[in-house]
Amino acid sequence: MEMQSSNPTLNERTFGAARVGMGEPAMTVQGTINKTFILLAVLVLAATWTWSKTSNPANAGFINIVGIASGIVGFILAMVTCFKPKWSPVTAPLYAACEGLLLGFISAMFEMRYPGIVVQAVGLTFAVTFAMLMGYKAGWLQATPALRKGLSIAIIGIMIFYGVVWIASMFGIHPPGFINGGGPLGIAFSLFVVGIASMYLIIDFDLIESGSREGLAQYMEWYGAFALMVTLIWLYMEILRLLSKLNRRN
């Protein structure tokens, strides 16, 4: 099977450099699942800490700094992990911790404005993940070359679009209303992005299973778990944005 993915954290060059040597422990699907649960636990613990601090107005300045710093450090750790997969047993948990601090802060802000939205977003994230996994296991959803190519084009387009909007905002140019608006176009856009993020899971499931079947080095379990975390965090954030738009219409 061709070892490639539309997820930038999982690609042929990364996996090709991780062939296990004779007698060395190899990557397994179960091992990757275990590592994913560890990263989720680290993320939840970190998120719980920042969430608990946001309830006190006196912590507002400190939490803002923590949120910004953790976002920057998390991005750096993600880039380091992509280029140095062998470091993933260390960088992946650190990345999960940083993203947890950031998500705890962001989630608390959404929860203050829309009570109950975080539970809904978490539930939907796991429901979508479970549905994608079941569809993949049943053979209904397959990582075909056409799907890989389509997702690659879509994610590049989304990244360019978000990048242009972010740069424009630095110069005082307001983003298009549909990005944050609760109108039909805004909801359709969020549904599209949620759909793309959801389909990423199929590509990642397939590649992790292929990596296990082809006997990659055991440290790739951490790398595979890290890649899944990247997709899950993105999916959660997009679902959170979608739910906030729907709440605005009520």
**Residue-level pLDDT at 218:** 86
Best CA proximity match to 238, nearest among 154, 143, 136: 154
Interval 95-110: pLDDT, tens:
999 999 999 999 999 9
Contact 54, 105 (CB under 8 A): yes
Provide the CB-side half-sphere exposure for 230 (13 A, CA). 23
Provide the token pair at 98: 């940083």
Whether 213 has a pLDDT exceeding 90, the answer reads no
Give the CA distances from residue 204 to residues 28, 68, 77, 89, 175, in Å, rounded to whole numbers and listed in that order: 14, 28, 20, 19, 31
**Confidence at 2, pLDDT banded by 50, 70, 90:** very low
- Map tokens 């879509």 to a residue: 154
High-pLDDT (> 90) share of the chain, % = 46
Interval 12-65: pLDDT, tens:
555 555 666 555 778 889 999 999 999 999 999 999 999 988 877 777 788 888
First to last CA, the chain: 48
**Confidence at 241, pLDDT banded by 50, 70, 90:** very high
**Residue-level pLDDT at 103:** 95
High-pLDDT (> 70) share of the chain, % = 87
**Confidence at 79, pLDDT banded by 50, 70, 90:** very high
Whether 11 has a pLDDT exceeding 70, the answer reads no
Give this prediction's pTM: 0.86
Whether 69 has a pLDDT exceeding 70, the answer reads yes
**Residue-level pLDDT at 19:** 62
